[in-house]
Structure 1
Amino acid sequence: MTDDELVQGMARGEQACFEAFVQRHHAPLSGYLQRQLRDAQKAEDFVQETFLRFLRQLKERSIPDNAQAWLYRVALNLCRDYWKSAQYHTDNRLMAEMPEQRDMQTSVVELAERQETRQEIIRSLDELPDVQKQVVMLRFFQDLKLQDIAEALQLPLGSVKTHLYKGLRKLKDRLKPDKEETHTSRGGKQHEHAKR
């Protein structure tokens, strides 16, 4: 069933449609919010709140044209409200004091291989302007189509394309210098050693 069919069923009060809709969107939405918030519990709270708001929307007989885009728009707005709140600043201080949490189900070898590159990409994403960061994350982490991203972020399609292009260029530029510096510094040391 398509999202539209599930949403129509949900609007008629069909529990099976709601369960199928949640099952389809829960994991991707949760992953998106975990990358935004870097807090699994907070992300899960926001996922629940997003689905509750979706149900309220349906009860008010206001059915979104694009359910997926609507979910991401609400989730992102919840994040933005949270980032402006006093609670965020308190939570941020506490998180800074806690040791880094790692997924215990992932093997140590996989972590060693993936962690450095992943952290480098996430750090680079954090340096992008917010709108470019959101476009890149929704496109490559959530696999949304450009039109869906435009609806989620309430931007014209042309702007989404521009932000994606600029964001990817900045990411490429930020990730490239580290590798060049490594080669240069190694080359420099070898050159100095050769002189002696």
Structure 2
Amino acid sequence: MLDEQYMEELASGNDSAFDSLVFRYHKPLFGYLYRLLHDEKQVEDVVQETFLKIYQEGKRGFIPKQFKPWMYKIATNCCKDYWKKASTKREFATKDLYENPSQIYHIIDHQIERKWMMESLNQLSLDYRTALYLRFYQDLKYEEIAMTLDIPLNTVKTRISRGLNQLEKILLENEGKEEREYE
């Protein structure tokens, strides 16, 4: 069944349709948010908040034209709300990340190449990083990314292109540093 059909079912009172959406999207949504927030506990809260908003909209009878970009838009906006909170800014200190590295990489595959790529991606600005995550990790099309981030299609193309160019520079720079360390 299509996601939009599940939303129609939810709107007509079938709560099990919502369970199907949660089952289908919990893991990919968690992965996307983890890459942005780096805090498993906070990610779980944002995932729950995202699904709560989806449920509430479905119960009100709202059925998005395209569910997947709409869902990621809700999740991205929940992240933005999280970052705006003053208490969050105090909690998300860099030193805390290095005191408990298992918290950062719990879900991320422990292969060295993947860690290296994730660290490199995290050096990009949030705009570029978000566009790249949505495209390459969540497999959204450019049009879906534009809907998700509420930006023009050409801006999506620009962010992905510039983000990839910056990422390439970062990877080459890191590779050079690593080679010098082994000499």
1:40 aligns with 2:40: yes
1:128-172 CA deviation, whole Å, 9 max, x = no partner? 222211110111111112211111001122221121111111101
Q: Which residue pairs with 1:165 in the alignment?
A: 161
Asked if structure 1 preserves the Cα contact closer than 8 Å seen for 2:8 and 2:61, the reply is no
Counterpart Cα distance in 2 of 1:121 and 1:86: 30
Asked if structure 1 preserves the Cα contact closer than 8 Å seen for 2:4 and 2:64, the reply is no
Percent of residue pairs bearing the same amino acid type: 33
Q: Which has the larger radius of gyration?
A: 1
State how 1:1-196 maps to structure 2 within 5 Å.
1-93=1-93, 95-96=96-97, 98-101=99-102, 111=110, 114=111, 116-183=112-179
The Cα RMSD (Å) is 2.5
Counterpart Cα distance in 2 of 1:44 and 1:152: 20
Shift of 1:99: 2.2
Partner letter of residue 31 of structure 1?
A: G
Shift of 1:56: 1.4
Shift of 1:80: 1.2
Counterpart Cα distance in 2 of 1:150 and 1:104: 30
Pairs aligned (count): 181
1:2-30 CA deviation, whole Å, 9 max, x = no partner? 11111111111112211111111111001
Counterpart Cα distance in 2 of 1:134 and 1:182: 27
Normalised by the length of structure 1, the TM-score is 0.81
For residues 181 and 89 of structure 1, do their structure 2 counterparts lie closer, same or farther at Cα, with a shift above 3 Å needed?
A: closer
Shift of 1:69: 1.0
Counterpart Cα distance in 1 of 2:97 and 2:16: 42
Normalised by the length of structure 2, the TM-score is 0.86
Asked if structure 1 preserves the Cα contact closer than 8 Å seen for 2:30 and 2:43, the reply is yes
